[in-house]
């Protein structure tokens, strides 16, 4: 991937910026942040979703919903976090999905449910996330998901 969008194809430019903003938002999501970085994380997540909507496929768009659910949960926007989480869970859990992505979906659903004050939903999603995390076969994938899962543990 080039450092700047060289392609004149508009969809390719959208994909370039979607990746850039997506990666920035996830980087911020797993670290300690200042209020300014919270705002940057939120803006980056929404920018990624906008660019994935224009230049990505359904999978990219649902991964953007996953990111939005996590970012909104981190910021305490429970209602919107849970709405994004429910939508992406329906997508990922209704089809063949890699083990790491199933674990992400459950962990973020748990986080969003907690942010929304839906404690019973949180408990069920947390249990599913824990099982799914333990079922990830690749240790590197498990370590990446563990970072997000640990954020759920701190709430």
Q: Domain residue spans in the chain?
A: 10-153
Query: In this predicted structure, what is the pLDDT of residue 5?
Result: 67
- CATH code of domain 10-153: 1.25.40
Query: In this predicted structure, what is the pLDDT of residue 4?
Result: 65
Query: In this predicted structure, what is the pLDDT of residue 14?
Result: 94
Below-70 pLDDT ranges, the chain: 1-7, 153-155
Write out the DSSP string of the chain. Answer: --SS-----HHHHHHHHHHHHHHHHHHHHTS---HHHHHHHHHHHHHHHHHHHHH--HHHHHHHHHHHHHHHHHTT-HHHHHHHHHHHHHHHTTS---HHHHHHHHHHHHHHHHHTT-HHHHHHHHHHHHHHHHT---HHHHHHHHHHHHHHHT-
- For 49-71, the pLDDT digits (tens) are 999 999 999 999 999 999 999 99
pTM, entire model: 0.92
Query: In this predicted structure, what is the pLDDT of residue 100?
Result: 96
Query: In this predicted structure, what is the pLDDT of residue 1?
Result: 47
């Amino acid at each position: 991937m080039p450092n700047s969008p060289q392609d004149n194809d508009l969809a390719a430019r959208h994909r370039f910026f979607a990746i850039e903003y997506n990666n920035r938002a996830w980087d911020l999501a797993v670290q300690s942040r200042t209020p300014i970085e919270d705002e940057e994380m939120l803006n980056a997540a929404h920018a990624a979703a906008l660019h994935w909507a224009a230049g990505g496929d359904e999978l990219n768009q649902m991964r953007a919903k996953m990111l939005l659910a996590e970012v909104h949960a981190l910021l305490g926007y429970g209602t919107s976090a849970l709405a994004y989480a429910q939508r992406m869970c329906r997508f990922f859990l209704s089809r063949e999905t890699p083990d790491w992505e199933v674990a992400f979906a459950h962990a973020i659903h748990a986080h969003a449910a907690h942010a929304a004050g839906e404690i019973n939903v949180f408990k069920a999603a947390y249990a599913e996330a824990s099982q799914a995390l333990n079922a990830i076969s690749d240790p590197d994938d498990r370590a990446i998901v563990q970072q997000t899962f640990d954020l759920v543990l701190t709430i």
